[in-house]
């Protein structure tokens, strides 16, 4: 796997990006841990908050369910279900309200036909293929000295980067939708609101970090492939 050896490009590009990504993961876990210990003044649970956001945006065909795990919260548009982790669904913490409202924000995006999420979903199948096949195709193309394979692999990897780039406005918009409802409906106030915002901002930075890592890897692959 000479494309992923400890060469100059790996050290100069990929390692700093991975360190940044690790730092963002630590930051979001720390923000979640701190705010999950703070009970919000209204004692509103994550499930309650999700329902309030759905009601605000007129979304009435989405269920809210509990699943196991930590920070495993997500919205499934195929089944129209918001799945909240145990620490969010029944917990009246500041973090629970912020996270649940964010996932309900995604449900509102789908219900209202938010353009970036449509684009992201349309390229998702190709991106899944690209994430699995891009590097093997590049390696095989270099080994066979067959440049079309290398080009195809790079194109597939580039699609993964595009997917992560489109994910940024989707995630930031879901947080803005959540915070708008939290603020206008008074779900959280004062320091509680600020705490929820910190959790969502930290979570958003993990998507920025994922994009940075992918860009670093793409630049490295392009450089190595061109040199060979």
Distance CA 202, CA 204 (A): 5
Q: How many residues does the chain have?
A: 228
| Cα–Cα nearest to 102, from 30, 207, 20, 24 | 207
Query: Over the stretch 181-195, which tens digit does the pLDDT of each residue have?
Result: 999 999 998 899 999
CB proximity list for 8: less than 8 A, separation 6 or greater = none
Would you name the residues annotated as active-site residues?
A: 103
Distance CA 154, CA 224 (A): 11
Question: Which residue spans within the chain are E strands per DSSP?
Answer: 63-67, 74-76, 81-85
Question: Tokens in use for 226?
Answer: 């061109």
The average pLDDT across 84-111 equals: 97
| Cα–Cα nearest to 58, from 183, 196, 186, 177 | 177
The average pLDDT across 70-94 equals: 96
Distance CA 74, CA 92 (A): 18
Percentage of the chain beyond pLDDT 70 is 96
Residue 2 has what pLDDT? 45
How does DSSP classify residue 75? Answer: E
Question: Tokens in use for 225?
Answer: 């492939």
Distance CA 209, CA 186 (A): 32
Residue 72 has what pLDDT? 94
Distance CA 89, CA 50 (A): 9
Model confidence at 225, pLDDT cuts 50, 70, 90, reads confident
Query: Over the stretch 114-170, which tens digit does the pLDDT of each residue have?
Result: 999 999 989 998 898 888 999 889 888 888 888 889 899 999 999 999 999 999 999
């Amino acid at each position: 796997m000479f494309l992923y050896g400890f060469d100059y490009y790996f050290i100069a590009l990929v390692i700093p990006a991975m360190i940044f990504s690790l730092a963002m993961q630590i930051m979001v876990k720390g923000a979640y841990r701190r705010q999950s210990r703070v009970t919000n003044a209204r004692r509103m649970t994550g499930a309650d908050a999700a329902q309030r956001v759905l009601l605000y945006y007129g979304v009435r065909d989405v269920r809210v369910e509990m699943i196991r795990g930590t920070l495993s919260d997500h919205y499934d548009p195929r089944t129209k279900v918001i799945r909240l982790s145990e620490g969010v669904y029944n917990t009246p913490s500041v973090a629970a309200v912020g996270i649940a409202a964010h996932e309900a924000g995604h449900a509102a995006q789908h219900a209202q036909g938010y353009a970036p999420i449509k684009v992201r979903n349309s390229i998702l199948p190709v991106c899944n293929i690209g994430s699995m096949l891009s590097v093997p195709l590049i390696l095989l193309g270099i080994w066979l000295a067959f440049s079309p394979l290398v080009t195809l692999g790079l194109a597939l990897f580039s699609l993964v980067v595009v997917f992560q780039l489109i994910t940024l406005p989707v995630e930031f918009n879901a947080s803005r939708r959540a915070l708008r409802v939290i603020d206008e409906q008074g779900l959280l106030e004062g320091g509680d609101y600020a705490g929820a915002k910190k959790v969502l901002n930290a979570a958003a930075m993990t998507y920025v970090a994922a994009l940075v890592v992918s860009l670093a890897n793409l630049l490295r692959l392009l450089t190595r492939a061109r040199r060979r």
